[in-house]
Amino acid sequence: MTYRSFNRWLAGAALALAAGLGLAGSAAADDDMTFALISHAVPGDTFWDIERKGAETAARQLGADLIYAHHPAAGQQATLVQNVINQGVDGIALTLSHPDAMRGVIAKADAAGIPVIGLNSGLNEWQSTKVFAYIGQDPVVAGAAFGDRLNTTDAKHVLCVNHEQGNVSLARRCEGIEDTFDGKVSTLYVNGQNMTSVRSRLLAKLQQDPSIDYVATLGAPYAMTAVRAIRMSGRPVSLTTFDLNSRVISAIERGKIRWAVDQQPFLQGYLAIESLWLKATNGNVIGGGQAVLTGPSFVTAENVDQIAAFAKRGTR
């Protein structure tokens, strides 16, 4: 089944369900239904463009409207959630990178009768925050798989570059690598909102510690910044990353990045809105009390051609 056919199948399945339940003339085509996606995205992070595109595609196919807003600061993200609660949306998808900051507004949404689904970040905390389901990848499992793959290389000292200190999912990726990698793992915290600073900090670290032979970035834009920092260092350091965009795909094709871990952000956004619609119109809950996982999978030089076309159009 092709990507386009899969999307049509999902939309058709949802509308067929609505028709069978007598909802096709109301909720399925109700232009008044509005859902919100609130994330912790940093401006310029292409990962979230892909996640948003998935949510917008689902909303459009379901005849609903979508509100998208984001802020990297936990308090501001909670304020954005409160804003859409005040607007009376029909469902909210939100990230749980800072779960404690979200608990209060999730409770307020529940009191207002608005279903809330978690996605992308906070797999270990989603059940305690009282969202009804969670869609994403397990960062510890992804990190552990990353470490296992490193063990098949000549890597001895890996630098894990964390672009958002305090983000629980990012920290767990580095922890997962450390759990399974047989060599040394160091973590470098950088300011993900300042790419110039990211490059200079990484360059300084590579010049300071000649034992570092692999770099693992935790997001696609930071991988591309790392490509330049490694080149400026003049050292033969291998680069790996979590997450994809079209530039990372190109870098894998050119041998500049050895691999990327894909958690399928388009799918996360799409399924979150689809699930909110089903919850609002038919009381459906996905997952059976377990997280719905969208990754991890590895994109390497051996399989990159299979998804390159999707990445170039901004959906992988």
Q: pLDDT digits over 249-270, tens only? A: 999 999 999 999 999 999 999 9
CA 99 – CA 115 distance, rounded (Å): 17
Two structure tokens written together for 17:
């369900």
Two structure tokens written together for 276:
């909110």
Q: Is this model's pTM higher than 0.75 or not?
A: yes
Domains, the chain, in order of start with CATH, read: 3-137+264-285 (3.40.50.2300), 139-262 (3.40.50.2300)
Which alpha helices (DSSP H) does 87-219 contain, by range? 99-111, 126-129, 139-150, 168-180, 195-208
pLDDT score at 44:
82
Two structure tokens written together for 91:
């469902």
Poorest-confidence range of 42-51, 91-100, 103-112, 253-262? 42-51
Q: What percent of the chain has pLDDT over 90?
A: 87
Two structure tokens written together for 62:
């379901």
- Statement: residue 62 has pLDDT above 50: yes
> pLDDT digits over 158-180, tens only?
999 999 999 999 999 999 999 99
- Statement: residue 106 has pLDDT above 50: yes
The amino acid at residue 237 is: V
DSSP string, 285-311: --GGGS-EE---EEEETTTGGGTHHHH
pLDDT score at 12:
53
> pLDDT digits over 16-53, tens only?
444 444 444 334 444 589 999 999 998 888 899 999 99
